[in-house]
């Protein structure tokens, strides 16, 4: 499954900061399935000598992914459509890898970039980096501003430290190194390696919930499933709640691609949910299946033939049954997290 990580931030990096971005890019691309998202900012036209986060990441990605097909698959550029090729634009941009041209303003482009990302790392930055980090917090996206680089990254970290740490699992030693003075060049490689793994681990732990919407279902999601998923340190994702606009089938397929685990509530055998379950199975994903029955006795014949042989939590739809569903789901997610394979490294 694809995990999209956005690198965002400053437009005038020091030599050490540019080196850190390149190290971070290298370690992220060493993780199979990671795709890097860039804002396509090369430099201000008046200062072509300055190095931005985007240009440093691009340079490293091109060196690591020397085959065009691999590069296009694993590096994305998100550009504002209405400002392309304007002679009065003070910014020089690049369009490399898979290019997304977003209609509307720069703000719309930033919103769509954050929305598409599974995780975000910022280095330094002014103004727009603050906006991107605030969007990430509002959308419950794992984000890690690197405080030792200063700028918006330090300010937002200091003002929202607990919120950023909530979705991350950082070692205390790493937190101390991030919050301290800028480390020497010799330590940046090791810090970048840990940051890459931490943001990947946070980003990949997304749990997609497929279920009927409306009365009798929404309360079950909010009061039972959501809490059970968060108790296992996963991020719950339901399309109608967490995706704000777009074509539902496309949103479903993209959410399925990004999900680390999938929960399917087949209560009522809703046609849309059953279609989605078919798509899940077609991709070789084994979901956590839930059925909330109305009668005390289990009626196996009430379920489609193909589901009778699936591992399915079939409980009475009362308080005790819902509690057992929540406990079983949390145990399942903890098991998946504990027994997940280490990301395979590219040679």
Q: Are residues 236 and 218 in the same domain?
A: yes
Distances (CA, A) of 115 to 6, 144, 243, 249: 10, 15, 8, 17
pLDDT at 266: 94
Q: Has residue 345 been placed in a domain?
A: no
End position of a domain, from candidates 171, 204, 237: 204
CATH label of the domain that carries residue 256: 3.40.50.450
Q: Is there a single domain that holds both residue 58 and residue 175?
A: yes
Question: In whole angstroms, what is the distance from residue 211 CA to residue 296 CA?
Answer: 22
How many domains is the chain partitioned into structurally?
2
Q: Looking at the structure, tell me whether residues 147 and 102 fall in a common domain.
A: yes
Distance of CA 164 to the CA centre of its chain: 14
Residues 178 and 276 in one domain: no
State whether 117 and 26 are in the same domain.
yes
238 and 134 in a single domain? The answer is no
CA atoms within 13 A on the CB side of 212: 14
Q: Say yes or no: 101 and 245 in one domain.
A: no
Residue 146, in any domain of the structure:
yes
My answer on whether 164 and 36 are in the same domain is yes
pLDDT value for 188: 97
| Residue 206 pLDDT | 82
Confirm whether 123 is domain-assigned. Answer: yes
The per-residue pLDDT for 339 is: 67
Task: Report residue 167 as tokens.
Answer: 């979705």
Supply the pTM of this predicted model.
0.68
Q: Which domain holds residue 66?
A: 3-204
What local confidence, expressed as pLDDT, does residue 345 receive? Answer: 30
322's CB contacts (< 8 A; 6+ apart) are 220, 224, 292, 315
C-alpha distances out from residue 265 to 178, 292, 295, 315, Å: 41, 8, 17, 12
Residue 281: inside a domain, yes or no?
A: yes
Per-residue pLDDT of the chain (347 residues; tens, 9 = 90+): 678 999 999 999 999 999 999 999 999 999 988 999 999 999 998 999 999 999 999 999 999 998 999 999 999 999 887 655 566 678 889 999 999 988 877 888 889 899 889 899 999 999 899 999 999 998 878 999 999 999 999 999 999 999 998 878 788 999 999 999 999 999 999 999 999 999 998 887 789 999 999 998 999 999 999 999 988 878 898 988 876 566 788 888 878 877 889 999 999 999 999 999 999 999 888 899 999 998 877 776 778 888 877 889 999 999 999 999 999 999 999 888 766 533 323 32
Last residue of a domain, one of 204, 219, 244: 204
Last residue of a domain, one of 146, 177, 204: 204
214's tokens: 């409306």
48 and 191 in a single domain? The answer is yes
The reply to whether 347 falls in a domain is no
Same domain for 44 and 155? yes
Same structural domain, 170 and 260:
no
């Amino acid at each position: 499954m694809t995990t999209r990580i956005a690198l965002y931030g400053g437009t005038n990096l020091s030599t050490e900061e540019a080196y850190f971005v390149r190290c971070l890019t290298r370690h992220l691309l060493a993780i199979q399935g990671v795709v890097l998202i860039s804002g396509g900012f090369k430099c201000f036209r008046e200062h072509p000598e300055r190095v931005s986060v985007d240009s440093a990441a691009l340079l490293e990605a091109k060196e690591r992914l020397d085959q065009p097909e691999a590069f296009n698959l694993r590096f994305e550029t998100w550009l504002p459509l209405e400002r392309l090729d304007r002679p009065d634009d003070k910014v020089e941009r690049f369009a490399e890898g898979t290019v997304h041209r977003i209609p509307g303003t720069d703000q719309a482009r930033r919103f769509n970039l954050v929305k598409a990302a599974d995780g975000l790392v910022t280095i330094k930055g002014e103004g727009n980096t603050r906006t991107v980090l605030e969007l990430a917090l509002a959308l419950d996206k794992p984000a890690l501003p690197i405080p030792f680089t200063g700028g918006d990254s330090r300010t937002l970290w200091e003002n929202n430290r607990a919120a950023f740490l909530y979705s991350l699992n950082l070692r205390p030693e790493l937190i101390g190194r991030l919050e301290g003075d800028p480390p020497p060049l010799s330590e940046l490689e090791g810090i970048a390696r840990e940051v890459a793994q931490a943001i990947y681990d946070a980003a990949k732990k997304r749990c997609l919930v497929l279920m009927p919407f409306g009365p009798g279902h929404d309360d079950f999601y909010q009061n039972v499933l959501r809490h059970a998923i968060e108790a296992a340190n996963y991020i719950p994702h339901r399309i109608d709640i967490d995706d704000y606009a777009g074509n539902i089938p496309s949103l479903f397929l993209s959410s399925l691609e990004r999900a680390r685990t999938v929960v399917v509530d087949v209560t009522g055998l809703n046609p849309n949910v059953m279609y989605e379950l078919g798509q899940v199975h077609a991709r070789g994903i084994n979901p956590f299946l839930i059925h909330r029955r109305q009668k005390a006795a289990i009626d196996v014949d009430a379920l489609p033939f193909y589901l009778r042989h699936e591992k399915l939590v079939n409980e009475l739809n009362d308080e005790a049954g819902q509690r057992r569903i929540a406990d079983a789901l949390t145990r399942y997610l903890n098991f998946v997290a504990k027994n997940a394979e280490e990301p395979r490294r590219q040679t």
